[in-house]
Amino acid sequence: MMILSLHIMYLEITDLAQTGFMIVPGFGMGQILILGVSMLVSFLVSHMLKRRFQEYSQIPIRVTGAEVAEMMLKQNGITDVRVISVPGQLTDHYNPANKTVNLSEYVYGMNTVAAAAVAAHECGHALQHQQAYVWLGIRSKIVPAVQLSSTMLNWLMMLSLLGMGLMHNTTMLWVWVALFGVTTLFAIVTLPVEFDASNRALKWLEGSGLAASMEHEKAKNALFWAAMTYFVAAIGSIAQFAYFLMQALGRRE
């Protein structure tokens, strides 16, 4: 069972995708095929992302991730956002509730291309918040609904495992479709938010001169593969939502 993790207000899209990576008893080979293809593509993209970041973690630059974040915020006139270190790996996120750029211990203290790219990306979210970026606002507003939907999806999955399968109850199937639709909407709305944050990060890195020392193409490549994980998650979620919807519509015939 997958329970979505909530970083204060923002759900990580990887966890969201994993909620979709569940085989619901009774749905058959169609869902298994969609699930298999989605997981394979997700694995390949994640493998490439990990490979690139391992490579770029070996390339030193003159400043740490924390210093990159502080420089980017300052040069964009943002003085009310703090940069802090948080434990764990892949825990980097921007928290609009208390206006903090939270960097994992590695990103915060290391002076590598990978750390700089991650730090700049998270500051991209801070810029979005400052400038009231419309897609960020929409994503914030639907977070409570996504949190509720993910919890209810887990309960429905438990009922299915206990024999009260969705395929035996049309009402439950439509409830599943509606709840899964909410998480799919979140995955779609997240795409412009994440790609825009990466674009803002690259633009600032270029303007600050850091991209030159980072080797511009490496910085761009790191941000691209990070954003692609969100794209793959969204495609997988859309594919499964379409499958569930067709199953529900088929009940009406």
Predicted confidence band at 18 (pLDDT cuts at 50, 70, 90)? very low
Average pLDDT, rounded, for the chain: 81
pTM for this entry: 0.80
pLDDT tens by residue, 176-203: 899 999 999 999 999 999 999 999 999 9
First-to-last alpha carbon distance for the chain, in angstroms, is 32
pLDDT tens by residue, 36-57: 777 787 778 777 777 877 788 8
Q: What is the arithmetic mean of pLDDT over 117-136?
A: 95
Position 167 scores a pLDDT of 57
pLDDT tens by residue, 205-215: 988 878 776 76
Residue 122 annotated in active site: yes
Least-confidence region, from 2-6, 83-87, 157-161, 164-168: 2-6
Domain edges within the chain? 6-58+132-250
Show contacts of 34-39: CB within 8 Å, 24+ apart: 34/236, 34/239, 34/240, 34/243, 35/240, 37/239, 38/232, 38/235, 38/236, 38/239, 38/240, 39/236
Predicted confidence band at 65 (pLDDT cuts at 50, 70, 90)? very high
Position 221 scores a pLDDT of 84
Q: Which of 12, 122, 194, 206 is catalytic?
A: 122
Closest residue by Cα to residue 142 from 7, 2, 11: 11
